[in-house]
Amino acid sequence: MCARLDQWFVGFKCTASEGSAPALGRLDPLTSKPLFTPETKIALENCKEKCIHLQDPLSIEEMYDVIRPNPNSPHGLKQYLSRRGESNLESFHLMLAHFGNTGMRESLADNLNLTGTARHNLHIRHKLQISRLTDENTRAVTPAGWETTLPYFNNSELQWVNRLAQQAGIVGATKLPFPNAEILQ
């Protein structure tokens, strides 16, 4: 919030002190006076001082998806998956930063980034599927330590196994080995 307030102030101020961010504002076209008065800076500092007391408008239940503990889990603790995209996106960008300065070919770096992006998205989808499970018996067969580990990376292979099952005589989408396999374009 403080950073956004600073950006807003820099975007409209018309003069800049030595060592501060350059002024990006403009004068009022009719009166040729700055839009900010000297009191604006004081009001901005007051806002920045008080913004630490702001609360999120959503309740805790609306901010997170709950992943219930696996029945085999020794601790029985819940995990919380944030519904807010920014924190997940920022953490994902942190992972990509390691590929930024390695001196490799651009095409290889692009392939690694796209592969990493696809695997990250699959991992998030897998965690969301776990958070939506309600029957604890459906989770009892998976060891707790492996539950959040992604069981596959390639939906094309899953579709191929589903096609083999259909050729072997399995009928019905719910009886396929991988009923949630994503159909790729």
pLDDT(175) > 90: no
pLDDT(51) > 90: no
- The predicted structure's pLDDT at residue 100: 55
Is 65:79 a contact under the CB 8 Å cutoff? no
Please list the residues that pair with 82 across neighbouring strands.
64
Output 163 or 132, whichever has higher pLDDT: 163
Calpha distance 125→117 (Å, rounded): 12
Weakest-pLDDT range from 16-20, 84-88, 162-166, 176-180: 84-88
